[in-house]
Chain A
Amino acid sequence: AQSVAQPEDQVNVAEGNPLTVKCTYSVSGNPYLFWYVQYPNRGLQFLLKYITGDNLVKGSYGFEAEFNKSQTSFHLKKPSALVSDSALYFCAVRANTGGFKTIFGAGTRLFVKA
């Protein structure tokens, strides 16, 4: 069965410091991995995805994520955090064996302090 774990409910970081939001997954076959961000009372916005190829994926707003197959992880990173990055972040996985079902993690709330 597919699953996604975001081990931290909340991440706190100071503005200007690097940030990491962790994600691990379990899926049969090769994974398709996604990161989304949600601002209060809004829908989710797509940030980036890993389908195949280079393990380092770059996305919107300066975010990037590294796919690590041996550790089954897909951590979201940013070199320098902004206060405006404060939001709820979701990792999601879909198996490449077909089908539309995407499994979302429970979300990690990021607080960036000025």
Chain B
Amino acid sequence: DGGITQSPKYLFRKEGQNVTLSCEQNLNHDAMYWYRQDPGQGLRLIYYSQIVNDFQKGDIAEGYSVSREKKESFPLTVTSAQKNPTAFYLCASSAGTSIHEQYFGPGTRLTVT
């Protein structure tokens, strides 16, 4: 899983509560990403950041928010506005733009009841 850590591994929340997932990398990568993984649907991009203090919405940003105050950190907040938040969340980073592969963290499995 490279130099990317995600915490916690498992997270349980009640419906209506916001929750923040942590992602830290020590690879000195400029770009960071958040994906959501659901069975049979591959990975869907939530948000990505190319540089500190800048981030862009992905395909399914509604109900999520992020910040990028430090190069090493890209936390994701799942808000109560997200209709179906139970999923496996993956954070990734890459060295730069198009040609560089992504390095993934171990993931956080969020269950909302």
CB of B54 to closest CB in A, whole Å:
11
Asked if B45 CB lies within 8 Å of chain A CBs, one says yes
Instruction: Classify the interface of chain B: helix, strand, loop or mixed.
Output: strand
Please name the residue on chain B nearest to A31 by beta carbon.
B98
Q: How many A-B residue pairs have CB under 8 A?
A: 65
Asked if B68 CB lies within 8 Å of chain A CBs, one says no
Asked if B78 CB lies within 8 Å of chain A CBs, one says no
**Interface bits A1-23 vs B (CB < 8 Å: 1, else 0):** 00000000100000000000000
Whether the pair B98, A96 counts as a contact (CB closer than 8 A) is yes
Interface residues on A, range: 20 to 34
Cα distance A102–B35 in the bound complex, in angstroms: 11
Residues of A close to B4: CB separation below 8 A: 43
Whether the pair B104, A45 counts as a contact (CB closer than 8 A) is yes
Cα distance A104–B104 in the bound complex, in angstroms: 14
**CB-CB under 8 A for A46 and B97, given A41-B109, A90-B42:** no
* The one of B45, B103, B106 that contacts A42, using a Cβ cutoff of 8 Å: B106
Asked if B101 CB lies within 8 Å of chain A CBs, one says yes
Q: Which residues of chain A from 63 to 114 have a CB within 8 Å of any chain B CB?
A: 90, 94-96, 98-102, 104-107
Asked if A34 CB lies within 8 Å of chain B CBs, one says yes
Residues of B close to A99: CB separation below 8 A: 97-98
Cα distance A32–B42 in the bound complex, in angstroms: 18
**Interface bits B73-109 vs A (CB < 8 Å: 1, else 0):** 0000000000000000010101001110111111101
Whether the pair B103, A100 counts as a contact (CB closer than 8 A) is no
Cα distance A4–B35 in the bound complex, in angstroms: 16
Q: Which residues of chain B from 53 to 73 have a CB within 8 Å of any chain A CB?
A: 56, 58
Cα distance A96–B31 in the bound complex, in angstroms: 17
**CB-CB under 8 A for A107 and B1, given A43-B90, A43-B107, A101-B58:** no
Please name the residue on chain A nearest to B48 by beta carbon.
A100
Cα distance A99–B35 in the bound complex, in angstroms: 16
Indicate the member of A43, A96, A107 with the most B CB atoms within 10 Å: A43
**Interface bits B1-14 vs A (CB < 8 Å: 1, else 0):** 10010100000000
Whether the pair A46, B42 counts as a contact (CB closer than 8 A) is no
